[in-house]
Structure 1
Amino acid sequence: MKLYIAEKPSLGRAIAAALPKPQKNHKTHIELANGDVVSWCIGHILAQSDPEDYDPEFKKWRMESLPIVPQQWQLKPISRTRSQLTVLRGLVKKADEIIHAGDPDREGQLLVDEVIDYFKISKAKKSTIKRLLISDLNLPAVKRALNSLKPNSDFMPLSISALARSRADWLYGINLTRAYTLQGQKTGYHSVLSVGRVQTPLLGLVVRREQEIAQFVSKPFYQVQAHIALNQGEAVAFTAKWQPSENCKPYCDEEGRVLVKSLAENVVKRIENQSATVSNLQSTEKQQAAPLPFNLSQLQISAAKQFSMNAKLVLDVCQALYEKHKLITYPRSDCRYLPKEQLKQAKSIVDTLAKSSLPCNKPAQGADTNLVSKAWNNKQITAHHAIIPTEKSPENITLNTFEKNIYLLIVRQYLIQFYPAYIYQQTKVDLLIAGGHFNSQAKTEKQLGWQVLFPKSKKTQVTANNGQNRDAETEQAIPPLTKGQVLHCQHGELVAKHTSPPQSFTDATLLAAMTGIARYVSDVEIKKVLKDTDGLGTDATRAGIIDLLFKRDFLQRQGKSIVATEVGVALINALPEMATLPDMTAQWEATLTAISEKHASYVSFMQPLTDTVTDMVYGASQQSFAGLPKVAFKPKRSNRTFKKKSPVNKSVRKAS
Structure 2
Amino acid sequence: MKLYIAEKPSLGRAIAEVLPKPHKKQDGFIEVGNGDCVTWCIGHLLEQAEPEDYDPRYKKWAFQDLPIVPSEWKFKAKPKTKKQLATVKRLIKSAGVVVHAGDPDREGQLLVDEVIQEAKLSKTKKSAIERVLISDLNPNAVKKALSKSKSNSEFMALSISALARARADWLYGMNLTRAFTLAGQKAGVQGVLSIGRVQTPVLGLVVRRDEEIANFVSKPFYEVTAKISKANGEQFEAKWQPSEACTPYMDEENRVLVKGLAENVARRITNQPAELTKLDKVPKKQNPPLPYNLSALQIDANKRFSMSAKQVLDICQSLYEKHKLITYPRSDNRYLPNDHYYERSDVLAAMVNNKGCEEQLVAEANTTLKSKCWNDKKVEAHHAIIPTKKSLKTAQLGHQELQVYSLICRQYLAQFYPAYEYSQTKAYLNIAGGRFIAKADTIINMGFKVLFKSKKADSESKVQLPILEVGEPLHCNEGVVHEKSTQPPHYFTEATLLSAMTGIARYVKDKEIKKVLKETDGLGTEATRAGIIELLFKRGFLQREGKSIKSTQLGNGLINTIPVHLSLPDRTALWESQLTNIAQKNTSYSQFMTPLESELSDLIDISQSVNTNALKGVQAPKPFKKRAGKGRRKSTSYKAKAKS
The question of whether the paired residues in 1 share the 8 Å contact of 2:198 and 2:572 is answered with yes
Cα 1:85–1:140 change in 2 (3 A) is same
Query: CA offsets per residue over residues 16-49 of structure 1, 9 Å max, x none?
Result: 0011111101230000121111000000111111
Residue 194 of structure 1 and its aligned partner are, at CA, apart by 0.6
SS at match of 2:384: coil
What corresponds to 1:118 in structure 2? 118
Which shows bigger deviation, 100-109 or 361-370? 361-370
Residue 477 of structure 1 and its aligned partner are, at CA, apart by 1.3
What corresponds to 1:64 in structure 2? 64
Cα 1:472–1:570 change in 2 (3 A) is farther
CA distance in 2, matches of 1:478, 1:286: 17
CA distance in 2, matches of 1:266, 1:608: 63
The question of 1:552 aligning with 2:539 is answered yes
Aligned counterparts, 1:221-370, within 5 A = 221-231=221-231, 234-370=232-368
The question of whether the paired residues in 1 share the 8 Å contact of 2:20 and 2:33 is answered with yes
CA distance in 1, matches of 2:266, 2:274: 14
What corresponds to 1:146 in structure 2? 146
Query: CA offsets per residue over residues 420-462 of structure 1, 9 Å max, x none?
Result: 111111111221211111112111111111111111325xxxx
Residue 395 of structure 1 and its aligned partner are, at CA, apart by 4.5
CA distance in 2, matches of 1:360, 1:453: 10
The question of 1:9 aligning with 2:13 is answered no
What corresponds to 2:632 in structure 1? none
What corresponds to 2:631 in structure 1? none
SS at match of 2:226: strand
What corresponds to 1:533 in structure 2? 520
CA distance in 2, matches of 1:173, 1:524: 28
Cα 1:271–1:214 change in 2 (3 A) is same
CA distance in 1, matches of 2:312, 2:376: 27
Residue 471 of structure 1 and its aligned partner are, at CA, apart by 6.6
The question of whether the paired residues in 2 share the 8 Å contact of 1:303 and 1:406 is answered with yes
CA distance in 2, matches of 1:433, 1:157: 66
CA distance in 2, matches of 1:407, 1:268: 53
Query: Structure 1 residue aligned with 2:615, among 619, 628, 631?
Result: 628
The question of whether the paired residues in 1 share the 8 Å contact of 2:557 and 2:618 is answered with no
1:437 maps to a residue whose letter is R
CA distance in 1, matches of 2:399, 2:459: 26
Q: Which runs of 5+ in 2 are unaligned?
A: 627-634
CA distance in 2, matches of 1:362, 1:615: 64
2:567 maps to a residue whose letter is T
The question of 1:54 aligning with 2:54 is answered yes
What corresponds to 1:74 in structure 2? 74
1:16 maps to a residue whose letter is A
What corresponds to 1:180 in structure 2? 180
Which shows bigger deviation, 630-639 or 53-62? 630-639
The question of whether the paired residues in 1 share the 8 Å contact of 2:177 and 2:638 is answered with no
The question of whether the paired residues in 1 share the 8 Å contact of 2:320 and 2:328 is answered with yes
What corresponds to 1:643 in structure 2? none
CA distance in 2, matches of 1:633, 1:236: 66
CA distance in 2, matches of 1:333, 1:494: 50
Cα 1:591–1:486 change in 2 (3 A) is farther
1:583 maps to a residue whose letter is D
Cα 1:380–1:449 change in 2 (3 A) is same
What corresponds to 1:582 in structure 2? 569
SS at match of 1:574: coil
TM-score by length of 2: 0.96
Residue 615 of structure 1 and its aligned partner are, at CA, apart by 1.8
What corresponds to 1:489 in structure 2? 476
Q: Which runs of 5+ in 1 are unaligned?
A: 459-469, 640-646
What corresponds to 2:641 in structure 1? 653
What corresponds to 1:384 in structure 2? 382
What corresponds to 1:37 in structure 2? 37
Query: CA offsets per residue over residues 455-491 of structure 1, 9 Å max, x none?
Result: 1325xxxxxxxxxxx4753342122333444422221
SS at match of 2:554: helix
TM-score by length of 1: 0.94
Residue 530 of structure 1 and its aligned partner are, at CA, apart by 1.1
1:373 maps to a residue whose letter is S
The question of 1:373 aligning with 2:371 is answered yes
What corresponds to 2:18 in structure 1? 18
SS at match of 1:99: strand
CA distance in 1, matches of 2:617, 2:549: 25
The question of whether the paired residues in 1 share the 8 Å contact of 2:192 and 2:620 is answered with no
CA distance in 2, matches of 1:486, 1:602: 73
What corresponds to 1:418 in structure 2? 416
What corresponds to 2:629 in structure 1? none
The question of whether the paired residues in 2 share the 8 Å contact of 1:360 and 1:411 is answered with no
SS at match of 1:627: helix
The question of whether the paired residues in 1 share the 8 Å contact of 2:442 and 2:461 is answered with no
Where in structure 1 do 4 or more consecutive aligned residues deviate above 6 Å? none
CA distance in 1, matches of 2:452, 2:392: 22
**How many residue pairs get matched?**
636
What corresponds to 2:507 in structure 1? 520
CA distance in 2, matches of 1:342, 1:648: 40
What corresponds to 1:96 in structure 2? 96
The question of whether the paired residues in 2 share the 8 Å contact of 1:271 and 1:489 is answered with yes
Residue 360 of structure 1 and its aligned partner are, at CA, apart by 3.0
CA distance in 1, matches of 2:154, 2:473: 68
CA distance in 1, matches of 2:467, 2:204: 52
Query: Structure 2 residue aligned with 1:570, among 545, 557, 578?
Result: 557
What corresponds to 2:216 in structure 1? 216
CA distance in 2, matches of 1:409, 1:202: 27
What corresponds to 1:465 in structure 2? none
CA distance in 2, matches of 1:480, 1:598: 60
Residue 601 of structure 1 and its aligned partner are, at CA, apart by 2.6
